[in-house]
Structure 1
Amino acid sequence: MSRRRLLATTGVLAAGGLAGCLGGDGGDGGSEAADGDTADGGDGDGSADEGAWRTAELTTVRGEESFILDGLEPPVVVQSFAVWCPKCGRQSEELAALAGSTTVVGLNTDPNEDAERVRRHAEQNGFDWRFAVVPAEMTDSLVEAFGPTVVNAPSTPLVIVCEGDATFDAGDVRNAEAVRALIDGC
């Protein structure tokens, strides 16, 4: 393969990857198709009530505490994100408006990012809720419960953990009011 062709191919792949991460905020924000099937290959209703993801022990990136999602007072807004993702940052800014009125947890699902990097990201951006790096077993459980979109950071996945149930939503950055509406569905 010529150097020119290799560079062109690399450029096309990079542009495609960035298109998902830098995409606009104009979508409907949902993950369900009109026929009720989820676009992400999940269970069809966007919800899951069981799974190891709810009971996996996590440690905050600040080292302050260990916790499990099921041990937190519902409703809990869980953001699956990566530090490198600009859309995730915009979603976090919207979630900052909820901090204090509801429990927010940031779960980093990028296997290439460690707790120190996530801690710096949270501190530099003034995000003061719980952040944790997700272990591989929990990532697998999240994917089993909600489909692969739950670990696709540019799709800005959110899981709303209610009493005994959870609802998955992805597709776009949701403003604080839209997230509150998801919470009201608990």
Structure 2
Amino acid sequence: MEIPTEESMEKPADAMMESPTAEVMKPQEEDLSATSSEDMSSEEMMVPDFFKVSLTDVNTGEAFKISDFAGKVVLVENLAMWCPNCKKQQEQVKLLNEALGMDSDLITIGFAVDPNENAADLKKYINSNGFDWIYAVPPQEVLDEISRLYGANFLNPPSTPIFVIDRKGTVHPMPFGVKSADDLRDFVDPFLTEGM
């Protein structure tokens, strides 16, 4: 068996850099860097597709999109009703919301990511637990994109996946595991105090 040399190992990387995909991506990157975000409308800015998907708040029946909350800070927790870690995490989110008060620029959304769960059961669950923020059962296309962008563990409810979207639309995944209300506040405070 021939042991690869440094020279032979560099060749595949060089070939990859010259692939059609890399060439297509290069001009897009240059175009984005040449245009300041101030010159771009919110529709033109690069945002994940799932921000534009119409969802339904299971508690109110009202349609919404994550893009509706542009300029706010959005905390998204992926959960399942059967998950004890998720419930512990939601209790901490509830404490965070109570500490920040109703005037906060923080929007909280719970995504039921188990495909076996439905809106009617989710509504009963949140009402029985006193969780009064936005909850939705996202379509598979949203779940697929979240998994592709942030990793499959973001669809694993016991890992208590949370990501925060800042005022500019950038997604900031939080570490896995149950996070205390204080840890959540420490994470979101810089985004809340940051201006547009």
TM-score (norm 2): 0.67
Say whether 1:103 aligns with 2:107.
yes
2-structure distance, mates of 1:165, 1:155: 22
1-structure distance, mates of 2:169, 2:107: 16
1-structure distance, mates of 2:160, 2:190: 19
Q: 2:120 aligns with which of 74, 94, 116?
A: 116
Matched residue type, 2:135: F
1-structure distance, mates of 2:68, 2:96: 20
Query: After alignment, is 100-109 or 138-147 more displaced?
Result: 100-109
Residue deviations 1:29-74, cap 9 Å, x none? xxxxxxxxxxxxxxxxxxxx73122121100112431111121152
Gaps of 5+ in 2: 1-45, 192-196
Say whether 1:171 aligns with 2:179.
no
2-structure distance, mates of 1:134, 1:64: 14
Partner residue, 1:14: none
Q: 1:125 aligns with which of 125, 129, 141?
A: 129
Matched residue type, 1:167: H
1-structure distance, mates of 2:113, 2:59: 17
8 Å Cα contact 1:61-1:132 kept in structure 2? yes
Higher helix share: 2
Gaps of 5+ in 1: 1-48
Aligned partner of residue 97 in structure 1, secondary structure: helix
Query: After alignment, is 74-83 or 63-72 more displaced?
Result: 63-72
Matched residue type, 2:94: A
Residue deviations 1:60-114, cap 9 Å, x none? 1124311111211521110000000000000000000222332110011110000
Q: 1:92 aligns with which of 82, 90, 96?
A: 90
2-structure distance, mates of 1:185, 1:165: 13
TM-score (norm 1): 0.70
The number of equivalent residue pairs is 138
Instruction: Give the superposition deviation at 1:185.
Output: 4.1
Which has more radius of gyration?
A: 2
- List structure 1 segments (4+ residues) > 6 angstroms apart after TM superposition: none
Say whether 1:65 aligns with 2:66.
no
Aligned partner of residue 128 in structure 1, secondary structure: coil
